[in-house]
């Protein structure tokens, strides 16, 4: 059977590998001219790393990863510890796979290296998807019409395929944006930083952790978009390359713990991006065409499950299509969506809820949140976000 995967991000690459493992021929198309090292840190919980093991990639990815021992949540103003959760060897013992923190480029490269070069068509922009009873087709900007038994649209949060399938439907700005930066370890060696921490404050939170085995500190500083920063539409794109104005991040986080401000100040190159989501759907597929990853369920990153859920989609898609013939495709896609939609939608909602809790104003509500988090840490050492970690493909 032949499949076309549109989009060579993490979800599209994982889907390509899963479908190939299921015995099918796959053509992967993407409009980029070449793969490049973009993005920053990604967290991979055990639900994702189990899939990487199935694909034979876990050791490769882990070789470039950091393995945190614990996650600390702290208050924004003085760094008082709210709670701590276990992330290290205990997680691997409990869930059968490790919790890894990696550079996106390292994960992307590990996936891309497993796709045969002859299966990849870069500089190929999909401008339409259609189908009949027997085949699905991708039309390219060059006027080609590529046919297959199955089309997987992994074309991201700004998915065009989603609109081709289900009508007008735009990405939704979450009301939050983020600064991100990568700092060499030497730049922060004199600071007393936890290895993995979330700092919670009114309308804002900051997360930092190590990637590349501790060579780089990944920093993400999330804020409610407001008047303190530029508010034109160009300020809130999900671009990986939009740079913040000099000192902008320091003004946004004025008054925070000196360690946070020092990291923000020392970050030489700071990028700003708006965080977008997609409205939950009641179905992801139509006939021989399905959505996967962010095109289906883009979410805010506040449970660190965006990449993991795309990888899970890919694994389940491969399972549902193992041994399938062309006539089986519509029913196989129905099974895929049945197995994945409820879970991804639940994680999507949980991520949004976590962001709301992180940004509570100082006072009784934040105090109650802190008490709940501390109580949860004493009752469940892995923290409240571990619900998806045991998920199996």
Catalytic residue among 85, 179, 209, 273: 209
Name the region of 203 (left: φ>0; alpha: ψ -120 to 50; beta: rest): left
Residues in the chain: 393
Name the region of 137 (left: φ>0; alpha: ψ -120 to 50; beta: rest): beta
Strand partners, 179: 221, 272
The 3-state DSSP class for residue 137 equals strand
Q: Which residues contact 308 (CB under 8 A, 6 or more apart)?
A: 43, 44, 45, 47, 48, 388
Tally of CA atoms within 13 A in the half-sphere of 316 that contains its CB = 26
Instruction: Encode burial over 118-128: b for 16+ CB neighbours within 10 A, e otherwise.
Output: eebbeebebee
CA 71 to chain centre: 19
Cα distance between residue 67 and residue 328, in whole Å: 41
Cα distance between residue 68 and residue 137, in whole Å: 44
Cα distance between residue 152 and residue 289, in whole Å: 6
CB 276 within 8 A of CB 283: no
Instruction: Encode burial over 362-371: b for 16+ CB neighbours within 10 A, e otherwise.
Output: eeeebeebbe
Q: How far is CA 76 from CA 190, 244, 255, 331, 372, in A?
A: 20, 22, 9, 50, 17
Phi and psi (nearest 5°) for 281?
-105, 160
Phi and psi (nearest 5°) for 219?
-120, 130
Which DSSP letter does residue 66 get?
A: B
CB 369 within 8 A of CB 355: no
- For the question of residue 196 being annotated catalytic, the response is no
Question: Catalytic site residues?
Answer: 209
């Amino acid at each position: 059977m032949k499949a076309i995967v549109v989009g060579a991000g993490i979800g599209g690459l994982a889907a390509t590998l899963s479908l190939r493992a299921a015995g099918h021929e796959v053509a992967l198309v993407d409009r980029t001219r070449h793969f490049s090292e973009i993005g920053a840190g990604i967290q991979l919980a055990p639900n994702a790393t189990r899939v990487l093991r199935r694909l034979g990639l876990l050791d490769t990815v882990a070789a470039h990863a950091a393995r945190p021992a614990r996650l600390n949540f702290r208050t924004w103003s003085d760094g008082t510890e709210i709670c701590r959760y276990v992330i290290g060897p205990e997680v691997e013992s409990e869930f059968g796979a490790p919790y890894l923190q990696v550079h996106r480029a390292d994960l992307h490269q590990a996936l891309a290296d497993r796709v045969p070069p002859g299966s990849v068509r870069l500089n190929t922009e999909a401008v339409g998807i259609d189908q009949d009873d027997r085949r699905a087709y991708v039309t390219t900007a060059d006027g080609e019409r590529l046919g297959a038994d199955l089309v997987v649209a992994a074309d991201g949060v700004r998915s065009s395929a989603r609109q081709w399938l289900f009508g007008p439907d735009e990405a939704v700005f979450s009301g939050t944006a983020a600064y991100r930066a990568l700092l060499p370890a030497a730049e922060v060696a004199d600071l007393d930083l936890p290895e993995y921490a979330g700092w919670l404050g009114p309308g804002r939170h900051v997360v930092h952790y190590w990637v590349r085995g501790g060579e780089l500190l990944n920093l993400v500083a999330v804020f409610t978009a407001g008047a303190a920063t530029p508010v034109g539409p160009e300020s809130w794109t999900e671009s990986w390359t939009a740079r913040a104005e000099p000192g902008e991040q320091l003004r946004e986080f004025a008054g925070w713990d000196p360690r946070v401000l020092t990291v923000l100040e020392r970050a030489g190159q700071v990028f700003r991006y708006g965080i977008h989501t997609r409205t939950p759907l009641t179905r992801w597929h139509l006939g021989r065409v399905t959505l996967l990853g962010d095109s289906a369920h883009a979410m805010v990153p506040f449970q660190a499950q965006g990449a993991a859920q795309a990888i899970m989609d890919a694994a389940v898609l491969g399972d549902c299509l193992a041994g399938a013939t062309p006539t089986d495709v519509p029913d196989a896609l129905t099974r895929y969506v049945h197995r994945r939609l409820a879970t991804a939608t639940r994680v999507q909602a949980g991520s949004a809820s976590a962001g709301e809790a992180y940004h509570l104003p100082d006072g009784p509500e934040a105090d109650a949140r802190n008490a709940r988090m501390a109580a949860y840490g004493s009752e469940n050492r892995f923290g409240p976000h571990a619900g998806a970690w045991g998920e199996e493909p």
